[in-house]
Structure 1
């Protein structure tokens, strides 16, 4: 549903597609983390990204640039840039959702 929403936004104009993409950026994380349904996860993603869209756009542009540089380094740089990008993206979700890193570390320790 998120992909369909973004596709409609991109068909209307590029700007609405970018806005929809930023609104629903963390939908997948929320479905996995909080075990919500798709509609509730989209609403929650919209709620936690409200007021942070410019910073998130900057983060996505920076991560895209880092991955392009990794690709230009004979594609071997992607072995570093993709995990770093994933961790930065996850950290942004955890920061905006209000989950402290100590709680995340405790959850990982319990799972191991």
Structure 2
């Protein structure tokens, strides 16, 4: 049952995951030179900006795909569970990208 819900959340995340990950990669790329020196401050600003951009993406997703939520509801997930799970997944991917970039910069 849990695996099925995770698959449904992944299916939902794929609708806007590319846009969200492009924001992440763009932010890392823009601040690549500063990450090494100001990492704690970078994390704070980055996560606030990411939260803001996820809110905008979530709003647009609700407006554009409003008629598709019945599909997910029939599979047993509410809109809140979908967005919560998808944003948790996005947060994990974001942290993975940030810390991988940071570790690569430290090795140089």
- Asked if TM exceeds 0.5, the reply is no
TM-score by length of 2: 0.34
TM-score (norm 1): 0.33
**Which of 1 and 2 has higher RCO (CA within 8 Å, sep 6+)?**
2
